Structure 1
Amino acid sequence: MVADAKSTLLDYLGRARRAMVFKTEGLSEYDVRRPLTGTGTNLLGLVKHLASVELGYFGDTFGRPSGIALPWHVLSADPNADLFATAEETRADILGLYAKAIAHAEETCAVLDLDTVGHVPWWGDDNEVTLHQVLVHMVAETGRHAGHADILREGLDGAVGRFPADANMDSMTGYDWPAHVARVERAARDAAASASS
């Protein structure tokens, strides 16, 4: 059975959203928040960012503001304030914000057609979009950050997969990961040696 375009986009977006939340589960307060790259990327910050983005794209873009205050989006705020949770913001606060953003987005998608036109104020003059474009944009945006979260989480505690009992990972039970890593390392070294000779 072929689903309609809106349902397909919402399904893929929903999968990526669930993966983002899953990546925060079972970690200490420190590990879910701590910077894991040179630019400060962290798991809870990625969720906060996605919540903020969804509220904008599925709210203000289509004249449907959520009414949820985002103090990290005021002009005087640090440009990366939406990418980390302050000590005062609890994990429940951030996950709750994401849940509210998702609910608001789903309401917007329920009442608007894919060809409904909106305007993204922060895109400047070329800001006209359709709901279809915004859904594609958010599938890509959320998928991109879910990939970041995959790598961050694996680096923290070795946990892999998009959700508990991910069939893609379960099929690799018993796989010799150290041997695989050694193969990849050997191939990289051999390629580097060939390129330099």
Structure 2
Amino acid sequence: MATAVASTSLNPQTSQGRPLPDYIDYWLSPDTPLDFNVPVGNPDLCTQERIRAVKWMLIVLSKMLRAMLLQRKMMYQSEISVPGLDHATYQNILVYMYGHDDTSSLQLEAAVSLLCAAELRRSFVCKKVPKLWETATEIVHCQIEGLFFHAQFPTVSPKVLLHIVQQDRLNVGEIDVWRAAFNWATH
């Protein structure tokens, strides 16, 4: 009796430009036969992309997903849509949920996306995400000027904006913070 073996990509996936550990690369590979689909992206703006996931790991590591996926109506579903997140942000969240907590190479754009995702899905908090939130906030502290002029800055939620402007250790003057808030409000 022959058994099918899942093929994995010969080119390992990366997180922030660095190769992922083999086990995470395997889980995130589109060729891996996993039991759950997560369509991400706003269907009104673009085609949703499906990311395969390990359903029980999502249940174990995320309080929000546990509450959603263990409901009677969702128990046997093989898909849950997350329209407010883009593909790269959700994949970064999965990388951290699956146990790869190396945030040393997290870049500004990914940090902003993860802050927005954390606000969008506040309950995505699992064992790894508090450190991720701290790291993203630290990047905001160090690269605040780049953040204020970033093309995505006007799209952050009011709660993320409030979190940013309430920081005590921003590397810009108070007038720059007010200008950024004004630009955000008038965009």
> TM-score normalised by the shorter chain: which range applies?
under 0.3
Going by fraction, where is helix more abundant, 1 or 2? 1
Going by fraction, where is strand more abundant, 1 or 2? 2
Compute the TM-score of the two structures, normalised by the length of structure 2.
Answer: 0.26
Which is higher, the Rg of structure 1 or of structure 2?
Answer: 1
Of structures 1 and 2, the one scoring higher in RCO (CA 8 A, sep 6+) is: 1
Compute the TM-score of the two structures, normalised by the length of structure 1.
Answer: 0.25
